[in-house]
Amino acid sequence: MNLLEALFSGAKAFVKELVSVARTVVREVLKEVDQSAFGRSATRLVDGIADRYFTQARDLSEEESELAEKSRRDGLRTEADAERLREIAAERERVRAKMERINAERSAQDLRDHADETLVARLDDDELSSTVGILAAKVCPACGGTMRIRQGPVASDTGIRRFYWQCTEPNLPMCPYVKLDPSKVNAGVVRLADPDLDTPKEQRRAVWNRNDVIAETHGRVRQHLGDDDKQVVCPRHLLPMKLLPKRNQGGRVLDSYEYVCLGVTTDGKACEYKIDLQTMPQVAAMLRRTEGEGIIRH
Ligand SMILES: [Zn+2]
Ligand SMILES: [Zn+2]
């Protein structure tokens, strides 16, 4: 039937169309996952397996940063160092492939393990926003790489935020974006219950906008500053990104923080890849990942 659009860790899948009753959708998606290359894996993944690849990625980044520092100090880069930088890039691509594979297998396993607890909902902008920056098991149509959802600004004419799929491969030129407009298609999401997203839209937004809720939420967010988020990974360096205050912070919970990567480029500049924390569904999802509970709690 080809329903599966993308798979995320934590037993979450996007489906292209809400064609039939919920149970059938979940069953179809499971079948498709089991038939996929990553879904057939027989090995059961254990916690911490992805950490090995983060360690390898970190070692590569540290070496890259030392080489950048050395060439700045010496005012030149030796042929041996240039060659080593090429090796680092090649090694990183091998780590990337393994990391993506593990992520896809883990996501398949999560869905299989928790399929009975999942529900099916219509895909809307809040659902999309809650997955921004998270590595998805979704194949880039241009190069076969892994994709993730990014969010653009709110369109001034419609008041609707724009979303798109972005390829994470370091291709030049970059692979084309794939537009995502939940209002145009009858797309859905299979996922575990989540009070933030299960509460009807008007109602949840009313709660998210309450001053006491914002103040409490802001306090919770501050406690995670400086933490690595293993689900938000820099596509350039493959390092978990850190939630940090923005340089020009606005003072409010939605205009003050961003995920940054501490890697450096081969010429010693700070990595430019960033993800703004700018919507309440993003904040709720971050709190759910780190504390087990989002903003709306039952
Ligand atoms: Zn691509
Ligand atoms: Zn980076």
pLDDT in tens, 100-133: 999 999 999 999 999 999 999 999 999 999 999 9
CB burial of residue 139 (10 Å; 0-12, 13-18, 19+)? middle
* Distance in Å, CA 98 to ligand 2 centroid: 18
Q: Which two tokens stand for residue 235?
A: 């596509």
* Distance in Å, CA 56 to ligand 2 centroid: 14
* Distance in Å, CA 3 to ligand 2 centroid: 33
Nearest CA-CA partner of 127 in 18, 267, 266 = 18
* Distance in Å, CA 172 to ligand 1 centroid: 10
CA distance 122 to 127: 9
Which ligand lies nearest the alpha carbon of 140? 1
Predicted pLDDT at 42: 67
Predicted pLDDT at 176: 96
CA distance 119 to 117: 7
Q: Could you tell me the pLDDT band of residue 183, with boundaries at 50, 70 and 90?
A: confident
* Distance in Å, CA 237 to ligand 2 centroid: 4
Report yes or no: 118 and 11 within 8 Å, Cβ to Cβ. Answer: yes
* Distance in Å, CA 238 to ligand 2 centroid: 7
* Distance in Å, CA 225 to ligand 2 centroid: 18
CA distance 160 to 142: 27
Which residues does 121 contact at the CB level (< 8 Å), separation at least 6? 127, 188, 189, 191, 197, 198
